[in-house]
């Protein structure tokens, strides 16, 4: 009976070690998945921001020229019909890329884009908006709330837990 108890005890101990290792592996795998998801979202954010900046930059000079011919409410005061339609199209593109740059809509539902403060150009306004969005993303993380800090903290906690389980 003594030998059986020793073998049973060893088997139970091995089972507990295997379970602890499996739990640690699962925690590390979950942390890895969260880190990969956050990394993917950051890359997607950067790619989208760069593509949008290219579009905004290509529209910026013409927007500046055309905006001189409309009032604060987006009403045409000095543009030809063709130029005004181009202005409305640019405002629509800007609205679809960065709704925060829209100051309102006219009676026909056209976006009104007005640059405020020291912003002299559409590209600068978009860059400011993207910098603000990046700061929010870093602070708040992805849609699941994963931030770089939380992933690092979870990883460190998993290491501590694994070390404690290994000792026991």
The Cα 113–Cα 89 span in angstroms is 11
Domain count for the chain: 1
Count of other CB atoms within 10 angstroms of residue 47: 10
Q: Please report, rounded to a whole number, the percentage of residues in the chain having pLDDT higher than 90.
A: 18
Which two tokens mark 59?
Answer: 């529209």
pLDDT 10s digits, 34-58: 778 877 887 888 898 889 989 988 8
Q: Supply the pLDDT for residue 118.
A: 44
Which two tokens mark 48?
Answer: 């989208």
| Domain extent at residue 32 | 2-167
> What pTM did the predictor assign?
0.64
pLDDT 10s digits, 92-150: 999 999 888 888 888 889 998 877 554 467 888 888 888 888 888 777 876 777 777 77
pLDDT band at 86 (very low <50, low <70, confident <90, very high): very high
Measure the CA angle with vertex 87, ends 84 and 88; round to 5°: 90
Query: Between 2 and 102, whose confidence is greater?
Result: 102
Q: How far apart are the first and last CA of the chain?
A: 26
Taking Cα atoms as reference points, which of 48, 52, 83, 81 lies closest to residue 68? Answer: 83
pLDDT of residue 2 exceeding 80, the answer is no
The Cα 137–Cα 146 span in angstroms is 10
Query: What does pLDDT average to over the chain?
Result: 81
Q: Supply the pLDDT for residue 19.
A: 82
């Amino acid at each position: 009976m003594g030998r059986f108890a020793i073998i049973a005890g060893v088997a139970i101990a091995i089972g507990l070690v295997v379970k602890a290792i499996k739990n640690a592996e699962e925690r590390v795998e979950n942390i890895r998945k969260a880190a990969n998801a956050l990394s993917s979202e950051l890359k997607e954010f950067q790619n989208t921001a760069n593509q949008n900046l290219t579009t905004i930059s290509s529209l910026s000079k013409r927007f500046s020229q055309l905006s001189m011919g409309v009032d604060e409410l987006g009403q045409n005061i000095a543009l030809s019909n063709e130029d005004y339609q181009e202005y409305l199209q640019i405002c629509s593109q800007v609205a679809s890329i960065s709704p925060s740059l829209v100051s309102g809509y006219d009676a026909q539902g056209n976006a009104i884009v007005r640059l405020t403060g020291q912003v002299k150009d559409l590209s600068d306004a978009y860059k400011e908006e993207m910098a603000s969005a990046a700061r929010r993303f870093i602070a708040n993380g992805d849609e699941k709330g994963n931030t770089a800090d939380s992933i690092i903290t979870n990883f460190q906690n998993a290491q501590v837990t694994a070390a404690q389980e290994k000792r026991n």
